[in-house]
Structure formats: C-alpha cells, structure tokens
Amino acid sequence: MAGKLEGKIALITGGNSGTGLATAKRFVQEGGFVYVTARRQAELDEAVKALGPQSRGIKTDASKLDELDVLFAQIKRSIGMNWTNVSKALSI
C-alpha cells in the first residue's frame, strides 16, 4: 500500500535534529522525498544517513537570503521543473 505522501516532496529547514528531523522521518515513512537543510555539514550528513535514500541534504543557513536562493536553485535543478511546479511540489 502506498504511503499518504508518496510522490510528494518536502523542504525541511533545520532537518538535522529535533522537530525538523522527526518531521523528515515521518515524511519519509509515509513515502515522501525530503530535502533537509542544516548549517553544519557533519550533522546534516548524519541526518541524511538516518533518513535513507528518500532524502537529500543541502548545507544552508536559512537566515541568509543569498543561501536560500542557492538552495532553491539546487532543488529546482534536482527536480527538473520550472519554479511554479517546484512551488506546488513542495506544498502538501
């Protein structure tokens, strides 16, 4: 049986620990794909390892607008969609 979130994509900032990581784990358990961000690479790598192949980590400081521009561009390239479709794909 397919999970409730199969085919959905989420971006979770601060997804390396706490509520962010718990949310990412649940999203993956329900069949979704998650992009998680964190400021520290080592913690990000551990989170992605725990989440498995339905995840991708991108080192980003969400408080810096220029880094968010790079983050969104990376996701856009990865998904291979125009930004309008990416915005829709990122919403549940």
Report yes or no on 75 lying in a domain. Answer: yes
pLDDT of 24 over the 90 cut: yes
Total count of domains within the chain: 1
38 phi/psi in degrees, rounded to 5: -160, 160
Each residue of 43-77: pLDDT tens digit? Answer: 999 999 999 999 999 999 999 999 999 999 898 88
CATH number, domain of 46, equals: 3.40.50.720
Report yes or no on 3 lying in a domain. Answer: no
Residue 90 pLDDT class (50, 70, 90 cuts): low
Per DSSP (E only), the strands in the chain are 9-12, 33-38, 55-59
Range of the domain at 76: 9-90
